[in-house]
Amino acid sequence: MMNPPTPNDSPLLHVHAQAAELAALGLRISALRMGLGFTQQELAERLGISRVAVSNLESGRSVPGERTVTLMAGLFGMEPFELVQGTAYPQAKVDRLPLVTAKYTEVELQLALLERDLRWLESAPAQLAIELLDGWKRQLRALAETTADRRQLLLIRNALDTLPGASGAH
């Protein structure tokens, strides 16, 4: 004899549970975005999608594609599977996510290399230090010319301003 269905067996309950898990992904995206100090518009520009699309992702009204998850994970400094873990992100899409993603921009990489060189220069001969710093100034100015992101440009300008012998001319 079959038991009568209970409210817990309701397909509607399962739909609500899945919607809550998708909303959890949206809340996670929203919290990570705000943690970086990005507006929805700034995140949208970084991802190559509209601000409305970001709003829909954050509210759980839409599910991000694999490309968007991968790009967001890189921006947030995590792997794609970490971003969607514990949410209702479709398993078929999870299976297509890359295991790792780039977490640093070219600007961040170059600034990390500059920081390493500056520590090394503390014990380097003066002439070598001058040549290396001049090279870094040229490289950072060239990088600034190819960078459109205002946050990344600010990082470059700050680095140029703090270099020994910085003239302030960019």
What does the pLDDT read at residue 15? 46
Domain boundaries, the chain: 9-96, 106-162
Q: What is the mean pLDDT of each run of 10 residues along the chain (170 residues)?
A: 51 50 84 95 94 96 95 95 93 94 89 92 89 94 90 93 69
Q: Which CATH superfamily is domain 9-96 in?
A: lambda repressor-like DNA-binding domains (1.10.260.40)
What does the pLDDT read at residue 142? 95
* pTM tops 0.85: no
DSSP string, 80-145: HHHHHTTS---HHHHHHS-S----S-HHHHHHHHHHHHHHHHTTS-HHHHHHHHHHHHHHHHHHHH
What does the pLDDT read at residue 168? 47
What does the pLDDT read at residue 8? 53
